[in-house]
Amino acid sequence: MFPKFLPSGVEQLTESASIALAQTIEQISLTTPLSKQAIATTYVHQGRGGTPFLLLHGFDSSVLEYRRLLPLLATQNETWAVDLLGFGFTDRVAGIKFNPSDIKTHLYDFWKSLINQPVILVGASMGGATAIDFTLTYPEVVEKLILIDSAGLTGGSPMSKLMFPPLDYLATEFLKNRKIRQNISRTAYKNKQLATEDALFCGALHLEMPNWNKALIAFTKSGGYQAFKAKQLQEIKQKTLILWGDEDKILGTKDAHKFQRAIPNSTLIWIQDSGHVPHLEQPQATAQEIFNFSC
């Protein structure tokens, strides 16, 4: 049985890993300073023991992005994944700005309410930028940092220029288009056969959530995550693992070296035969590198 708060399209999932993770998604009414109304926040929690992992998904994504990696990590450590404010299946409450600052506040309150101990923070793509921002603000919360094909060296979004009526609505409709999302999915993988119908459903299920387009417009209008300066990255004191697909066609591969040079106590590991999403394309290899690093 799937949780009732998920969109009805969840019934279209076919891959066992997708179905299993969707069935374990939970929801908490989270009190934050962002709104008088509690924010229904969705997350997954599996495993026991060790320093907890906290997984942050990428842009316009959800906890389903970790359907293959999370169960592997949970075999050895307590593991969490959360839908960031404005994304996934977390409620999009009216009046919230859905900018990086609000995302960070919401994430901290989630951590404080449910975890409340230092974590190994894992961020993929935009989630990497979120993880960096969070680490710089709350260094006491993050024991170690893991970045997977991370954003954060190029700021803003070309779409921000379109975010005024009526183009803002049309821009989100463009992103909602099935063919567009299929093309993005295929570009993310080195092995195009992994861009299956199930992968498409996983990547688009949250689009059925109320106010998906409004939150995405608000986030993009805010400018999103701006490029971190070298001085900021040098302030990261935590031991940092940079994992990067050796054939990333979304962000390329140059940023991997830039992060390694900028973050003082960092190690770069290439995930072979992988594109932008090694946690989906090579989950076993990705999990093993994370275990090696977290020991």
Task: Find all residues with CB under 8 Å of 173, minimum gap 6, and list them.
Answer: 213
Here the tokens at position 183 are 């093309």
Query: Which residue type does 207 have?
Result: L
Q: Which domains does the chain have, with CATH numbers?
A: 8-294 (3.40.50.1820)
Report pLDDT digits (tens) over 151-178: 999 866 544 444 445 445 566 676 778 8
Is this prediction's pTM over 0.85? yes
Report pLDDT digits (tens) over 237-289: 999 999 999 999 999 999 999 999 999 999 999 999 999 999 999 999 999 99
Task: Find all residues with CB under 8 Å of 179, minimum gap 6, and list them.
Answer: none
Report pLDDT digits (tens) over 63-109: 999 999 999 999 999 999 999 999 999 999 999 999 999 999 999 99
Residue 167 is predicted with a pLDDT of 46
